[in-house]
């Protein structure tokens, strides 16, 4: 049980660090539980009442969930404002650039180290 608690705490630290360093167009909220209707997904991202909810399924390992958090947070970074009409693919070039930016900050930058302070 303590191991799961540490995993949750670490994910919350990383999320808080991401929020400080990479502001999103809408506030984000981290939910460490399976996304409703998607019990086997690693995670997901939904808009509810002008908040972006990021879901991480706790059944997976911490490294997988860190990658999933970065993936979903990239979605939050490029979430279209309500006034934008038309279809936008979930994994657009804009999303790919932001995801790559987050991965680089995590693997080659200082995001991992900095996030321990949160």
In the three-class reduction of DSSP (H, G, I as helix; E, B as strand; rest coil), residue 116 is classed as coil
Task: Give the C-alpha separation, 86 to 24, whole Å.
Answer: 21
In the three-class reduction of DSSP (H, G, I as helix; E, B as strand; rest coil), residue 35 is classed as strand
**3 has pLDDT over 70:** no
18-22 mean pLDDT: 98
Higher pLDDT, 52 or 84: 52
Task: Give the C-alpha separation, 15 to 28, whole Å.
Answer: 9
Tell me how many degrees the CA angle 106-112-115 measures, rounded to the nearest 5. Answer: 125
Question: In this structure, what are the phi and psi dihedrals at residue 109, rounded to the nearest 5 degrees?
Answer: -100, -150
pLDDT category at 90 given cuts 50, 70, 90 is: confident
Task: Give the C-alpha separation, 62 to 55, whole Å.
Answer: 14
What whole-number percentage of the chain has pLDDT above 70?
A: 89
> In this structure, what CATH number is given to the domain that contains residue 73?
3.30.2010
**15 has pLDDT over 70:** yes
Residue 34 makes CB contacts below 8 A (sequence gap 6+) with 41, 55, 57, 58, 59
- Chain segment 47-59, per-residue pLDDT in tens: 999 999 999 999 9
Counted domains in the chain: 1
pTM: 0.90
Token couple for 2: 């303590």
pLDDT at 40: 82
Domain that holds residue 58: 2-115
Q: Which of 26, 108, 107 is nearest to 73 (CA)?
A: 26
């Amino acid at each position: 049980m303590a191991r799961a608690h540490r995993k949750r705490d670490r994910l919350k630290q990383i999320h808080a660090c991401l929020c400080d360093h990479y502001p999103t167009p809408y506030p984000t909220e981290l939910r460490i539980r399976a996304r409703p209707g998607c019990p086997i997904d690693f995670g997901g991202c939904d808009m509810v009442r002008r908040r972006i909810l990021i879901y991480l399924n706790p059944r997976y390992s911490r490294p997988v969930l860190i990658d999933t958090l970065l993936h979903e947070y990239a979605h939050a970074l490029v979430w279209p404002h309500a006034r934008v009409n038309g279809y936008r693919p979930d994994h657009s070039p804009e999303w790919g650039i932001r995801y790559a930016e987050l991965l680089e900050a995590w693997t080659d930058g200082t995001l991992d180290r900095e996030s321990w302070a949160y």
